Amino acid sequence: MDEYGTFIVAWAQAAHEDEELREAGMKRHLASCRRAGRSLETLRGGPYVDRMQIGLLFTSLLERTWSYRHLYGDALNRADLERNTAFVIMAMLDAPEDLA
């Protein structure tokens, strides 16, 4: 995120106003979400009902957490934020079969 995070955030904002940009970026973003979902499935040791959606949730968590961490600066304790983010990811990995 430190390398590409600003571009991801900028695309998400610009995509609301530009249909062509939205379409082009969306395909790439959803492909990235599917890859993230596949990685989570590997860590989990089993499939999710919708790999793309779980990947979207995962990447959204990381993108927005990174963005707000940089926006709020020292108002957030980085170590605590990283630890709590890891707790949420662990909960995603432990989701019951019928919710995953």
Confidence tier at 69 by pLDDT (50, 70, 90): very high
- Residue 71: its pLDDT value, please? 92
Residue 47 gets the label, from left (phi > 0), alpha (psi -120 to 50) or beta, of: beta
Whether pLDDT at 68 is above 60: yes
- Residue 98: its pLDDT value, please? 64
Any long-range contacts for 83-89 (C-beta under 8 Å, 24+ apart)? 85/61, 88/61, 89/58, 89/61
